[in-house]
A and B are shown apart, each in its own frame.
Chain A
Amino acid sequence: MEQSYGIFLYIISLATMGGMYAMLTLGLNIQWGFTGLFNVGIAGFFAIGAYVSAILTSPETTRHLGGFELPYIVGFSASMIVTALIAWGVGKVCLRLRSDYLAIATIGIGEIFRLILKNETWATNGPRGVSMVPKPFESLAEPYNQLMFLALVLVTVAVIYLLIEAACKSPWGRVMTAIRENEPAARAAGKNVERFRMEAFVIGCMIMGLAGAFTAQYLKFIDPNATELTTTTFLVWVMLIVGGSANNKGAILGAFLMWTVWSASEILTSRLPDDMAIRTAYVRIFLIGLALQIVLQKFPSGILPEKRPKPSGSHE
C-alpha cells in the first residue's frame, strides 16, 4: 500500500516535470522546428524566468532581493514579460547571424545570463540560490496539492499547444516555414524576414521563461545548478529531435518520453554499488545519447515527423 502510494506520487512528479519540459520543447519548436533558428541558449532564458518568478513571489529575506510576496500569476506573467524583453534585445543583436553562428552566439549569451545570476549575490543569493519560493496549492493536503499543481502544468501546456498549433497552421506558420526552407525566396516574396524571426524568437523564449517560473515554484527553490546546460539546454534539444521537430505533438511526446528515460535512469543507477554510483551521472548522459541514436536510426525525422497542414481554405 505504502509502496504503491509512493509510485503514485512518483508518477505525478514525473508528469509534472515532463509537462514543464513540454513547455521548453514547444518553445524551442517555434524557433528551430518552424523557423530554423538554432537557439542553444535555452538555459539562460529558463534561468531568467525562474529567478524573476522566484524573487517576486518569495517572502522577505536578507539573503537576496525579494520580499515582494506577489501572487503567482504576477510571478508567471512577469517572468514571461522580462524574458520577452531580454529575448528582444538578444534578437536585435543576434538574429541576423546564420544558423551555426546563431548557435554559438546564443550559447554564449545563455551562459552570460547564468553567470550573472550566479554572481550577482545581492539579488540572487549566488550559488546558494533562492529558497522558500511558495508553491501553488501547497496549503492543500497531499496528494491533492501535487495533483492540482500537475493539473495547472498540464492546462498550461494544453493552452500553449493550442495557441502554437493554430499559429503554425496559419499563414503565419506558412511564412515561418518558408523562411526556414529558403530565406532569399521568402524575402523575394516580400516577407520582412527580420520581423518574423524576431516574433518566433521572442515567443519561444517567453515560453522558456514561463517553464523556468513553473520549475522554480514547483521545486520551491532555484539555484544555478538547476539551470545546468545538460538538463536545460541539451536535454531539451534531444527531446525535440526524438519527438519530431516541427511537430508540436512530437515536441510534447519527446518531452515526456525522454524525461521518463532520464528520471528512470536515476532510479536504476542509484542502486549500483557506491564506487560505480559516482560515475552514474555520465552513464545517464550516455543513455540519453544512446536513446537519441536508436530513435534516429528508426525515425530519421523523429517519432512524429513534420506534417504540413492543409491550407485552412481547403475544399471541405
Chain B
Amino acid sequence: MLEVKDLNINFGGVQAVRDCNFTIEKGTITGLIGPNGAGKTTTFNMIAGALRPSSGRIIYQGEDIAGLPTHEMFHRGIVRTFQIPHEFGLMTVLENLMVVPPEQPGENLLHTWFSIGKVRRREKEVMQRAEEALEFLSISHLRDEQAKNLSGGQKKLLELGRTMMTDARLVLLDEPGAGVNPTLLLKIREMIARLREQRGYTFCVIEHDMDLIASLCSPVIVLAEGTVLTQGEMVDIRRNAEVLDAYLGGGED
C-alpha cells in the first residue's frame, strides 16, 4: 500500500533519516520501533506531509506523494495522530471531531450564507458520525467538555477519534499508548484491532511499549539512526542481537 524508497532528510548538518526503505502492506498493523532519535516521528512527518524529504520517494497506491502538503495526504486517506496530543483546546470534544470530515459544504462561505439548508443537513450527519465515534471510544459523557480539560489518556482517545471521522485508508499512530494507564491501554489496543476489522484501516504504529507492539503489530520495522535495522515478526526481533544492542537491551528508554 505504501512504499518508502531511499528516503532522506537533513536538518542543517543532522541527517535524521538516511536511505530508509520499507513497505507497509495493506490491511496490516505495522509496528515502527527504535530508540529515541531513530527518526520514527520524522518518518511519520514525511509520510503525513508535515515535512518535505530531502530526497527519496514515498509511493502510495502507485503515486509518488513525497513532499505533498498535509491536506493532500489527508484527502488520499493518510491520517495521523500526534505523540503529544494536539487537541483544539477551547472547542468541545464533539466539535474537535466535527472539524475533521472533508468537503463539508459549510466550510465554503457562500454556502454558509446562501445554502443554509444544505449546510444544516450535512451538519446533522457529521454530528451523528462524531457521536458514534465518541460512543466507540466510550467517551460520550465528555461530548460537551472543552478539550483542554481532558486527561492525557482521554486526549489520546480523542486523537484516535479524529481518524474515525474520515474515510481513512492508512492511519499513522504516533505512540498511542504513551502516558496511558494499563487499563486504557488494553482498550486502545482493542479499538485499533476493531478499527482494522470493521473499517479496513491499515495502521502504522510507533510505540515504545513492546507488549503492545508484540500483541498488535505484524510485521515490525526497527529503525536506528535514521535507517531500517531489521524487520519481521516481533518474536524474531526480540532474538535479534543487533536490535538488542541498539534498542531493546540497550536500556536507552
Same complex for A and B? Answer yes
Indicate if the CB atoms of A166 and B112 lie closer than 8 Å. yes
In-complex Cβ contact of A172 among B69, B86, B92, B108 (8 A): B108
For the A-B complex with A178-B99, A311-B95, A313-B120 known, give 19 more contacts whose Cβ atoms are closer than 8 Å: A166-B112, A171-B104, A171-B105, A172-B108, A172-B109, A172-B112, A178-B88, A181-B90, A182-B89, A184-B50, A185-B162, A188-B86, A189-B162, A189-B165, A190-B70, A190-B166, A192-B69, A193-B71, A311-B94
Whether A199 sits at the interface, judged by CB under 8 Å, is yes
Of B88, B94, B109, the contact of A181 (CB 8 Å cutoff): B88
Within 8 A of B (CB), among A188-216: 188-193, 199, 203
Judged by a CB distance under 8 angstroms, whether B59 is at the interface is: no
- Those of A111-150 within 8 Å (CB) of chain B: none
Contact B88 A177 (CB under 8 A): yes
Instruction: State the total of A-B contacts with C-beta under 8 angstroms.
Output: 111
Decide if B124 is an interface residue (CB 8 Å cutoff): yes
Q: Which residues of A contact B123 (CB under 8 A)?
A: 171, 311-313
Report the count of interface residues on B (CB-CB < 8 A): 43
Chain A residue at smallest Cβ distance from B94: A311
Residue pair A175, B107 in contact (C-beta under 8 Å): yes
Interface residues of A in 167-183 (CB under 8 A from B): 167, 170-172, 174-175, 177-178, 181-182
Given contacts A166-B113, A171-B123, A181-B89, are A186 and B99 in contact (CB under 8 A)? yes
Query: Which one, A167, A184, A308, A314, contacts B91 given CB within 8 A?
Result: A308
Q: Spell out A's residues near B (CB within 8 Å).
A: 163, 166-167, 170-172, 174-175, 177-178, 181-182, 184-193, 199, 203, 306, 308, 311-314
Given contacts A188-B48, A188-B79, A189-B74, contact A175 B99 (CB under 8 A): yes
A184-B119 CB under 8 A given contacts A171-B112, A175-B107: no
Taking A188-B70, A192-B71 as contacts, is the C-beta distance between A306 and B90 under 8 angstroms? yes
Residue B180, interface by CB 8 Å:
no
Tell me if B162 and A313 are in contact (CB < 8 A): no
Contact (Cβ within 8 A) A190 B91:
no
CB distance from B232 to the nearest CB of A (A): 30
Contacts of A170 in B (CB 8 A): 106-107, 112, 119
B150 within 8 A of A: no
CA distance A163 to B114 in the complex (A): 10
B82 within 8 A of A: yes
Find out whether the CB atom of B86 lies under 8 angstroms from the CB atom of A312. Answer: no
With A166-B113, A178-B99, A308-B95: A185-B127 Cβ-Cβ less than 8 Å: no
Residues A190 and B71 in contact, CB atoms below 8 Å apart: yes
B126 at the interface (CB under 8 A from A): yes
28 A-B pairs with CB atoms under 8 Å apart are A166-B112, A170-B119, A171-B105, A174-B99, A177-B91, A181-B90, A181-B91, A184-B82, A185-B87, A186-B88, A186-B99, A187-B50, A188-B50, A189-B74, A189-B99, A189-B162, A190-B70, A190-B74, A190-B75, A190-B79, A191-B99, A203-B109, A308-B95, A311-B95, A311-B127, A312-B119, A313-B124, A313-B125
In the complex, chain B residues whose CB is within 8 Å of the CB of A306: 90
Tell whether, in the assembled complex, residue A172 and residue B89 are in contact, meaning their CB atoms are under 8 Å apart: no
Find out whether the CB atom of A190 lies under 8 angstroms from the CB atom of B100: yes
B102 close to A (CB within 8 Å): yes
Task: Say yes or no: is B40 at the interface (Cβ < 8 Å to chain A).
Answer: no
* Residues A312 and B100 in contact, CB atoms below 8 Å apart: no
In this complex, the member of B71, B79, B108, B166 whose beta carbon has the largest number of chain A beta carbons within 10 angstroms is B71
Name the distance in Å between B85's Cβ and chain A's nearest Cβ: 9
Residues of chain B within 8 A of A175, CB atoms compared: 99, 107
Q: Is B80 an interface residue (CB 8 A)?
A: yes
Please encode chain B, from 67 to 85, with 1 for each CB lying within 8 Å of some chain A CB and 0 for all others: 0011100110001111000
Q: Is B170 interfacial (CB 8 A cutoff)?
A: no
Q: How far is the CB of A74 from chain B (nearest CB, A)?
A: 23
CB distance from A178 to the nearest CB of B (A): 5
B128, closest chain A residue (CB): A313
Q: List B contacts of A188 (CB < 8 A).
A: 48, 50, 70, 74, 79-82, 86, 162
Query: Which residue of chain A lies nearest to B126 when distances are taken between CB atoms in the complex?
Result: A313
Taking the closest CB of chain B, its distance from the CB of A88, in whole angstroms, is 15
